[in-house]
């Protein structure tokens, strides 16, 4: 037996089935046009952002990192809930424009922006978080050619990182951002060239569940920004403090203590140095905002025994849920939260391996899971599917095609 990850709060049962937004799993599948499908909950998104706002200082802006879930209805819905949007490609720029989001609320990071992408961003009026001197100079040159003063911030590669972070993106040599000591000279060059100086972006890591680690990283970010603003000799217009707020995926993971983070930030905000006194401050979150709001539903299409092991074979798999299969940035495969959605309040009574329909041994959704006995036709729910699911999985692999997505 291997434990399953914890089912996020807010998921209830009705008539023995998983219920989301007032509908049962079977009703949702019908509405989505069949399995497999992703169901994203508006109520969940709304509650999540409201709880976060209540915990954070009022001054702190909350940005949504579109890469976590670029499904247009989700992005459009998030526009009413959050302050800003972080994009990382021209494709995501098209998405935020289609969602009707004011380009002034959007910033564009990412280590390999092509001239065409820079041009589209300058035209649209989004802020470019430049990741190197070369990129900043290309941005200035394109702005000059277009006769538009580009909005430019610098992404800093800081000398520290978010401890316990799932994916480290700061500290030491990195393809992301400009090494901190080279930032002041480049900032002065950007300002002297007549661009609109939009400040700094300091991202230190992802998927941290330790409030202390995030508090420490945020303190380091504020100190680093103060130091750099001094050297640039201009108060900072804006500081994107990064994110890194994680969600529990695996057995033993505990939810992040956002109250502790908010209290520590409040204290820091009360005594900010002059360089940051009037600075617009924000954090950028992806999975924390949308991860738990999504559920992936697949149908059991076969049930078989092999050498005494029970396999529940579904019509879903790693082509939609690569992360749940353990093949997206994890070293040791552990089970995501998973349930039999059509027997949601039944007691577990057997050990089963839940797999996908792809012809590869990598396609596993749950190993040796303790579950109610499921039959062909039952629905399987994989939780924490709202972030890095549909868009972060190889939907073309093996030709089964993409899953339906539905925001309710």
Contacts with ligand PLP, residue ranges (CB under 6 A): 65, 67-68, 86, 109, 203, 206-207, 243, 284-288, 387
**Shortest distance (Å) from residue 288 CB to ligand PLP:** 6
User: By CB neighbour count within 10 A (0-12 exposed, 13-18 middle, 19+ buried), where does 252 fall?
Assistant: exposed
Q: Which two tokens stand for residue 105?
A: 């609320």
**Shortest distance (Å) from residue 64 CB to ligand PLP:** 9
**Shortest distance (Å) from residue 86 CB to ligand PLP:** 6
**Shortest distance (Å) from residue 203 CB to ligand PLP:** 4
**Shortest distance (Å) from residue 1 CB to ligand PLP:** 30
Residue 244 CB neighbour total at 10 angstroms: 32
**Shortest distance (Å) from residue 104 CB to ligand PLP:** 19
Q: Please identify, using beta-carbon distances, which residue of 184 and 243 lies nearer to ligand PLP.
A: 243
What is residue 20's three-state secondary structure? strand
**Shortest distance (Å) from residue 62 CB to ligand PLP:** 11
Q: Please identify, using beta-carbon distances, which residue of 246 and 326 lies nearer to ligand PLP.
A: 246
Q: Please identify, using beta-carbon distances, which residue of 150 and 291 lies nearer to ligand PLP.
A: 291
The answer to whether the beta carbons of residues 40 and 406 sit under 8 Å apart is yes
- DSSP letters, 346-398, are SPP-EEEEEE-SSSSTT-EEEEEEEE----TT-EEEESS-SSSSGGGS-TTGG
Q: Please identify, using beta-carbon distances, which residue of 99 and 109 lies nearer to ligand PLP.
A: 109
d(CA 166, CA 342): 33
Q: Please identify, using beta-carbon distances, which residue of 283 and 341 lies nearer to ligand PLP.
A: 283
**Shortest distance (Å) from residue 82 CB to ligand PLP:** 12
The CA distances from residue 271 to 40, 150, 264, 277, in Å, are 40, 32, 11, 9
Helix-strand-coil percent breakdown of the chain, rounded to 5? 35, 25, 40
Q: Give me the helix-helix angle, 42-55 and 258-270, nearest 10°.
A: 40
Q: Please identify, using beta-carbon distances, which residue of 66 and 379 lies nearer to ligand PLP.
A: 66
Q: Please identify, using beta-carbon distances, which residue of 86 and 378 lies nearer to ligand PLP.
A: 86
Question: What are the residue ranges of helices labelled H in 156-301?
Answer: 183-192, 211-232, 258-270, 287-290
The answer to whether the beta carbons of residues 253 and 9 sit under 8 Å apart is no
**Shortest distance (Å) from residue 246 CB to ligand PLP:** 7
Q: Please identify, using beta-carbon distances, which residue of 24 and 207 lies nearer to ligand PLP.
A: 207
Q: Please identify, using beta-carbon distances, which residue of 62 and 298 lies nearer to ligand PLP.
A: 62
Q: Show the CA angle centred on residue 270, arms to residues 269 and 272, nearest 5°.
A: 60
What is residue 315's three-state secondary structure? coil
Q: Please identify, using beta-carbon distances, which residue of 200 and 339 lies nearer to ligand PLP.
A: 200
Residue of minimal Cβ distance to ligand PLP: 286
What is residue 207's three-state secondary structure? coil
**Shortest distance (Å) from residue 109 CB to ligand PLP:** 5
Sign of CA dihedral 178, 261, 9, 5: positive
The answer to whether the beta carbons of residues 230 and 274 sit under 8 Å apart is no
Q: Residues with Cβ < 8 Å from 105, sequence gap 6 or more?
A: 83, 84, 85
């Amino acid at each position: 037996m291997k434990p399953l990850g914890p089912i996020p709060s807010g998921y209830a049962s009705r008539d023995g089935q998983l219920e989301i937004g007032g509908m049962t799993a079977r009703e949702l599948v019908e509405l989505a046009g069949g399995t497999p499908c992703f169901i994203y909950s508006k109520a969940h998104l709304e509650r999540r952002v409201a709880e976060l706002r209540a915990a954070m200082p009022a001054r702190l802006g909350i940005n949504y990192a579109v890469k976590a879930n670029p499904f247009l209805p989700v992005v459009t819905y998030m526009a009413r809930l959050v302050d800003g949007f972080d994009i990382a490609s021209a494709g995501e720029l098209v998405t935020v424009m289609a969602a009707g989001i004011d380009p002034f609320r959007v910033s564009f990071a990412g280590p390999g922006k092509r001239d065409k992408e820079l041009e589209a961003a300058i035209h649209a009026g989004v802020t470019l978080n430049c990741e190197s001197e070369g990129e900043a100079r290309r941005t200035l040159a394109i702005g000059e050619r277009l006769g538009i003063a580009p909005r430019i911030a610098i992404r800093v590669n800081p000398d520290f990182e978010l401890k316990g972070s799932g994916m480290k993106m700061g500290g030491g040599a990195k393809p992301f951002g400009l090494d901190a000591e080279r930032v002041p000279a480049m900032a002065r060059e950007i300002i002297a060239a007549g661009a609109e100086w939009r400040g700094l972006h300091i991202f230190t890591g992802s998927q941290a569940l330790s409030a202390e680690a995030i508090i420490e990283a945020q303190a380091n970010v504020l100190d680093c920004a103060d130091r750099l603003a001094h050297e640039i000799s201009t108060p900072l217009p804006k500081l994107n403090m990064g994110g890194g707020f994680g969600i529990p995926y695996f057995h033993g993971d505990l939810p992040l203590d956002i109250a502790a983070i908010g209290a520590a930030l409040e204290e820091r905000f009360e005594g900010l140095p002059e360089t940051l006194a009037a600075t617009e401050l924000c954090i950028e979150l992806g999975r924390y905002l949308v991860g738990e709001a999504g559920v992936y539903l697949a149908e059991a299409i076969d049930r078989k025994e092999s050498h005494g092991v029970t396999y529940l074979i579904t019509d879903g798999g790693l082509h939609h849920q690569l992360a749940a299969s353990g093949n997206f940035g994890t070293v040791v495969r552990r089970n995501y939260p998973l349930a039999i959605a059509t027997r949601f309040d039944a007691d577990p009574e057997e050990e089963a391996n839940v797999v996908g329909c792809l012809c590869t041994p990598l396609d596993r959704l749950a190993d040796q899971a303790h579950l109610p006995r499921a039959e062909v036709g039952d629905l399987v729910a994989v939780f924490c599917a709202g972030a890095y699911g549909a868009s972060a999985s190889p939907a073309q692999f093996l030709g089964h095609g993409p899953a339906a997505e539905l925001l309710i």
